[in-house]
Amino acid sequence: MGKLDGKVALISGGSSGIGLATARLFLDQGARVALLARSIERGGQALQQLQVPASQGIFIACDVRSQVECQQAVEQAVGAFGRLDILFNNAGVIYIERSVLDTSEDQWNETLGVSLTGTYNLSRCAIPEIAKAGGGTIINNSSVFGLVAGQGVAAYCAAKGGVIMLTKAMALDHAGDGIRVNCICPGSVDTPMLQSEMEILGGQESMRPAFAARHPLNRISTPEEIARAVLFLACDDSSFITGAALPVDGGRSVW
């Protein structure tokens, strides 16, 4: 038996990286999964990689900055699978080498819109369905930069810090609905987002050792390692945990 047998999960930012790795693990553990992402092309590619029938996994195009699109996505997932038990708010963007002075209004709005407002939008639409199913879990993707600051990522720090406090507030507000709400705080993870950052800063080959050295464990995480932390918070293994911000950062926030 899988740890998520009979459960239905909705995953934003599901077409690559942590979202796709989590979808694969959830499917392995018996869940049915709806992937959300803005790009229809990348969403289709993600489904091909997962190699699951429509009865087990679907893709829904959704910009989480739009509450209308989030509501439609939730309705489509429930229409396909009959219920909703798990929400993983994973979508996020980052602009690097951007202090407040260097961050444009559009960059600020996009960063907070996807990570913070997107978490609010999708949660607001999903919570009634999770409650209707008898309760469940919400996992939000914050960051080590929600716990400690980083240089040149002012908007990202603001967004991810907000995600942590939103997680705690939601945990209090919805405990009575049988909904546990937690968040993960990853360090550097080997995803397309991180690879793009390294290319901007000088190339993956030269920057990878520097990124690894920022963590006491002296390496970069795999998406699969983060997915296992999400699974822990999504399943009954964490049945008495809510309102937590779990560092999955190779010790980076300890420094």
Instruction: Locate the DSSP E strands across the chain.
Output: 8-11, 32-37, 57-61, 86-89, 136-141, 179-186, 245-248
Distant-in-sequence, close-in-space partners of 210: CB < 8 Å, separation ≥ 6: none
CATH superfamily of 8-186+222-242: NAD(P)-binding Rossmann-like Domain (3.40.50.720)
pLDDT score of 255:
84
The verdict on whether 95 is a catalytic residue reads no
Residues 115, 93: contact at Cβ < 8 Å? Answer: yes
Domain residue spans in the chain?
A: 8-186+222-242, 188-220
The pLDDT averaged over each successive group of 10 residues in the chain (255 residues) is 97 97 98 97 95 96 98 98 98 97 98 98 98 98 97 98 98 98 98 92 93 97 98 98 98 94
pLDDT of residue 16: 96
Question: How far is residue 8 CA from its own chain's centroid?
Answer: 16
* Three-state SS at 221: strand
Catalytic residue from among 59, 88, 95, 156: 156
What pLDDT, on a 0 to 100 scale, did the predictor assign at position 1?
86
pLDDT of residue 31: 98
